[in-house]
Amino acid sequence: MNWKKICSFYGAVIWALVLVSSSAAEKDIIPGFLEKITDSNLSHDVFYLSKDPLPFRKANYAVAGHPLNSLDETDAWLEGQLQNWNYKVEREACEAQAFSCDFKKKRHHTYAPPPTNAPFYKVHNLYVKKTGRRCPKEIILLIAHKDSPSWIDSPGTYDNAVGTAALLEIARVLEKYQSERSIWFLWCNEEHRPWTSITAATNCHQRGDNLIAIFNTDAIGGKSDEDIAAGRKTNVTLYTMPEGKRFADLMAEVNETYKIGLVQSSQQRKRPGDDDGSFVNSGYGCAVVNIGSYPFTDAAYHEAGDKPERVDIVNVRMTAQALLAAVLRLDRAP
């Protein structure tokens, strides 16, 4: 018996086990999560939210015979889905009015201030919050407005059933994920007045919430007829403050690393806009938005034709995957 040989054999075995286990520990878990986002789930949710049973999602419209207005019905459905995945949904109450419509104004921009006697509706921001195990005070916030245009009968599929569905799908995929940092989801209302993301951002600021990254998700996959004809899968990440640029760069990096296939670009906004703008205005310069094109070139933007049948669900899925990859990257950073 050659002890030297035996020792070196067992030594090699132990070393191999160490290597295997450490490479297992370092194995990138992100691709496995990206695979779980499916076209069929997204398509189902987008049709549910902008055709049947909910043709619109606005406080000033109820489906005939339904006790709740279509925005409250949207909230109830989202809440039910999230509870199925064991999330606790927090409601933040706000007051909002429907815009009025001025057809003399430029196409896509026919909204106008509500008349002085317009009723106020009680509407809600919906939050679900995963608490991080390592850095619970560092919060990654995902936002999407869930309402459809209040001043016209538009299903608002790109604007913004797609973002609503994308966040829901990400929440589903992360149900059992134990995050290192806190990951919050916020569904708000931006097609009524005032935007309820203003309430959300103001409250975050007053509580001193340490929001380290904020991703708004609005009209993902929405693009020009030319881009559609060319089969391009586009995404633009807009940032307002210089500190937002790193999140735009991160979107580009994960798109490359995970071979997602988006035609990804970024731009700096001239001034705060959309729901990310509400957070920028409250002092959170880390807020960015993912949108299908900028300037937004969807031909049916804010029109009755913004319907689910014309949505590029593959583009929506790719953007949702890139967003999820970016969130997991930030969450797992040392």
Residues lying near Zn ion in the complex (CB under 5 A): 159
Asked whether the beta carbons of 179 and 139 are under 8 A apart, the reply is: no
Minimum CB separation of residue 100 from Zn ion in Å reads 15
H helices of 67-213, in order, are 70-84, 162-173, 196-207
β-strands 211-217, 135-145 pairing: parallel
Q: Residue 130 or 193: which CB sits closer to Zn ion?
A: 193
Two tokens, residue 122: 């009680």
Q: Residue 261 or 273: which CB sits closer to Zn ion?
A: 273
Minimum CB separation of residue 148 from Zn ion in Å reads 8
Q: Residue 169 or 306: which CB sits closer to Zn ion?
A: 306
Minimum CB separation of residue 79 from Zn ion in Å reads 23
Asked whether the beta carbons of 175 and 48 are under 8 A apart, the reply is: no
For residue 215, the cross-strand partners are 142, 288
Q: Is residue 314 packed enough to be buried (19+ CB in 10 Å), middle (13-18) or exposed (0-12)?
A: middle
Q: Residue 148 or 321: which CB sits closer to Zn ion?
A: 148
Task: With both helix axes pointing from N to C terminus, report the angle between 313-332 and 162-173 in degrees, rounded to the nearest 10.
Answer: 50
Minimum CB separation of residue 168 from Zn ion in Å reads 19
Asked whether the beta carbons of 262 and 255 are under 8 A apart, the reply is: yes
The tokens 């695979």 sit on which residue? Answer: 35
Which residues are within 8 A (CB) of 293 and not within 5 positions of it... i.e. 6 or more apart? 222, 223, 224, 227, 234, 236
Minimum CB separation of residue 282 from Zn ion in Å reads 21
Minimum CB separation of residue 274 from Zn ion in Å reads 8
Q: What are the CA-CA distances from residue 75 to residues 15, 58, 150, 215, 287 (Å)?
A: 54, 11, 16, 21, 24
Q: Residue 98 or 254: which CB sits closer to Zn ion?
A: 98
Looking at residue 129, its amino acid is K
Measured from each CB, the residue nearest to Zn ion is 159
CA 150, distance to chain mean position in Å, is: 21
Q: Residue 159 or 180: which CB sits closer to Zn ion?
A: 159
Minimum CB separation of residue 246 from Zn ion in Å reads 27
Minimum CB separation of residue 154 from Zn ion in Å reads 9
Q: Residue 145 or 181: which CB sits closer to Zn ion?
A: 145
Q: Residue 172 or 307: which CB sits closer to Zn ion?
A: 307
Two tokens, residue 199: 């309430």
